[in-house]
Amino acid sequence: MKVSKELKTGIIALAAIGLLVTGVNFLKGSSFLGGDKVYYAYFPNSGGIAPASSVVLNGVPVGKVLSVDNDLTQVPERQVRIKFNINDKNIRIPVGSTIEIGALDLLTKGLVLELNPDLSKGYYKPGQSMVGSVAVDMFSQVKAYADPITTRLQGMMGKVDKLVSSFSSFWDTTATSELQGSMEELKVSIKRFGVVAEQVEGLITDERLKFDHIMTNVESISNNLRLSNDKVADIIGNTKKITDEMVTSNFKQVIGDAQQTIKRLNTTLELANSGTGTIGKLLKDESLYNELIETNNDLQSLVTDLEAHPERYVNISFIGRKSKGLHLKADEEKKLHQILDSTTIQK
């Protein structure tokens, strides 16, 4: 059976069209034979990503971006819809995984996929949607870092401008003359400082001599102390010996004797306070006190009467006569005179 040239041409044309479509799809990111799992992700903006960009998992491309479209029916955080596929049949996306538009290298952007290790929530099915985020690119980071610095530099340049203007206005003829005057005063101050330095040097020389004398005296005192070291050691030894003897003395017996004495004194004071004993009767018995007063009064009356009428008690002899009275011996008369003399002194 012969095949016509027209049929051959048609078959070749169809095959070419099929290869062209397949190649275009392959270039867009679809597998050559198809069968890829397709998912959707929503972002607040495209982040500069384009179709045919890579989908990366752990740094390895696993899919392609198929399309980037606006979906204004969504909220502002989800108005850009990106369609992407996963070429690897063994990769399944767990629920809760994150997807981000970020830089794959210095110039290329793509989708960075990070799988959720928690598999308890299940997996996304092909055709389901995810919510993604847009990473800040390097240029945005540099701009965010450089903008505050630029602002500060601009403010600093303004201050430098003002400083230069102020310095220029100051640096005129008047300022020059004032500066020369200040230099002259500085020279005079330096000369005065030189004179003061010479005086201080002379003072230091004098004080150095005095210091040498002081150190000589200190050395002499140290030598004397060193020579007296043995005597000081003996004194300290004697002091220690006396202290040891005092410590080893029988303080317990002394304290016991003192306690016994205090107890006896307390007993005596208690008896005196209670009115018993001789001291207690003297302190408490008023009748004894009254009797002593009465006896004293009688004795005073007797002494008074004895002074007034000694003839009643003493035998006094006169010339040619004798007075009546008590006849006393010589020693008794002497004792009586002593009593009279002591009574007179007390009065």
DSSP tally for the chain: helices H, then strands E: 8, 10
Query: Would you say 36 and 85 are in contact if contact means Cβ atoms under 8 Å apart?
Result: yes
Q: How do 98-103 and 109-114 pair as beta strands?
A: antiparallel
Q: Does the structure show a pLDDT above 70 at 246?
A: no
User: Domain map of the chain by residue range?
Assistant: 1-34, 35-135, 139-170, 172-249, 286-346
Answer whether 162's CB lies under 8 Å from 155's CB.
no
Say which range, 78-87, 108-117, 295-304, has the weakest mean pLDDT.
295-304
Average pLDDT over residues 117-134: 91
Q: How far is CA 146 from the centre of its chain?
A: 41
The mean per-residue pLDDT over the stretch 220-241 comes to 74
Reported as a pLDDT band with limits 50, 70 and 90, residue 340 is low
pLDDT at 124: 93
| pLDDT exceeds cutoff 50 at 103 | yes
| pLDDT recorded at residue 198 | 80
In this prediction the pTM is 0.37
The set of long-range contacts for 224-232, using a CB threshold of 8 Å and a minimum separation of 24, is none
Residue 112: strand pairing partners: 56, 100
Q: Write phi, then psi, for 37 (nearest 5 degrees).
A: -85, 125
Task: Indicate the average pLDDT of the chain.
Answer: 75
Summarize pLDDT for 170-197 with one digit per residue, the tens: 555 555 666 677 778 888 888 887 877 7
Stretch 268-275: mean pLDDT: 73
CA distance 224 to 217: 11
Sign for the CA dihedral angle at 70, 73, 79, 83 comes to: negative
Strand partners, 321: 318
Q: What is the pLDDT of residues 272-283, one digit of tens each?
A: 777 676 666 666
User: What is the pLDDT at residue 32?
Assistant: 47
pLDDT digits (tens, 9 = 90+) for 136-172: 765 565 666 667 787 787 778 877 777 777 666 655 5
Q: Count other C-beta atoms under 10 Å from residue 61's C-beta.
A: 15
Backbone dihedral angles phi then psi of residue 315, each to the nearest 5 degrees: -85, 105
Say yes or no to pLDDT of 319 above 50. Answer: no
Higher pLDDT, 322 or 117: 117
Tokens of 230: 């043995």
**Residue of 114 and 341 predicted with greater confidence:** 114
| pLDDT higher than threshold 60 for residue 40 | yes
